[in-house]
Amino acid sequence: MKILVCISHVPDTTSKINFTADNKAFDTNGVQFVINPYDEFGLTRALWFKEKEGGSITVLNVGSAATEPTLRKALAIGADDAVRIDAEPTDAYFVACQIADHAKAENYDLIIMGRESIDYNGSQVPGMVAELLGWPFVNACVGMETEGGTAQCVREIDGGKETVEASLPMVIAGQKGLVEEKDLRIPNMRGIMTARSKPLNVRPALEAAHRTEATSYEKPEAKAAVRMVDAENMEELVRLLHEEAKVI
């Protein structure tokens, strides 16, 4: 199976989030970037497909040169080659157009993406890619098996699971369940060394429209300080809940 795994380059989940002085952009100073966690589940599932059936795994990012260490990490984990489409990913539709344009020329059987990118949390790109290609799409995918040209996918739905069948080529947006956290692979020294010589092709971006523009960002209000009330002082607790918190 020829698989494309789309990798979003996102701030480490422990990063302190700040914006630039005009609040118009995310301040990347001092931020460590990692493979989007949902994409790591997808990459591991792709490795399982390859180990069972053969084939190849290409990882792709739409981004600037700053994302290359993230792509090299995906190569160290086991992808065969990488593609970076050279552009600032400033809009989900723009990113989807780049991915779909690349995929049209490459005859992939399967495109694995994440359910959402944990930075801008749009959950938009996978559905747009499927639509642009005219391929079936399964969102929130927690399990997938293939037989011949057919895929059985399990997706999480409210209060349960749904199994759907679709024909390849197709797009899935995956999450934990495709594989479990314990299955994720940490690059070993051999992987890191071989990743250095695996191809990382940089392609120019397609001219495509941006449909949205973020005009400002704001952080949630800081949480108020905790007030400690003596366990014996029920009257004071009731007064605070009534007069200050106004919840009773």
Ligand X SMILES: Cc1cc2nc3c(=O)[nH]c(=O)nc-3n(C[C@H](O)[C@H](O)[C@H](O)COP(=O)(O)OP(=O)(O)OC[C@H]3O[C@@H](n4cnc5c(N)ncnc54)[C@H](O)[C@@H]3O)c2cc1C
List contacts with ligand X (CB under 6 A). 6-8, 25, 36, 38-39, 60-63, 88-92, 95, 113-114, 116-117, 119-126, 212-214
Going by C-beta distance under 8 Å and a sequence separation of 6 or more, which residues neighbour residue 35? 7, 8, 9, 10, 43, 70, 73, 74
68 versus 119: smaller Cβ distance to ligand X? 119
- The secondary structure of 182-236, three-state, reads HHCCCCCHHHHHHHHHCCEEEEECCCCCCCCCCCCCCCCCCCCCCCCCCCCCHHH
Cα separation of the two ends of the chain: 60
60 versus 130: smaller Cβ distance to ligand X? 60
Give me the residue label for tokens 């990459």.
43
150-157 and 137-147 as β-strands: parallel, antiparallel, unpaired?
antiparallel
CB 230 → ligand X: shortest distance, Å?
A: 47
Q: What residue is closest to ligand X based on CB?
A: 122
216 versus 223: smaller Cβ distance to ligand X? 216
CB 233 → ligand X: shortest distance, Å?
A: 48
Sign of torsion, CA 197 199 200 204? positive
95 versus 154: smaller Cβ distance to ligand X? 95
CB 83 → ligand X: shortest distance, Å?
A: 10
CB 51 → ligand X: shortest distance, Å?
A: 21
87 versus 229: smaller Cβ distance to ligand X? 87
CB 209 → ligand X: shortest distance, Å?
A: 13
121 versus 243: smaller Cβ distance to ligand X? 121
Cα 81 from Cα 186, distance rounded (Å): 18
CB 173 → ligand X: shortest distance, Å?
A: 6
Sign of torsion, CA 43 45 48 53? negative
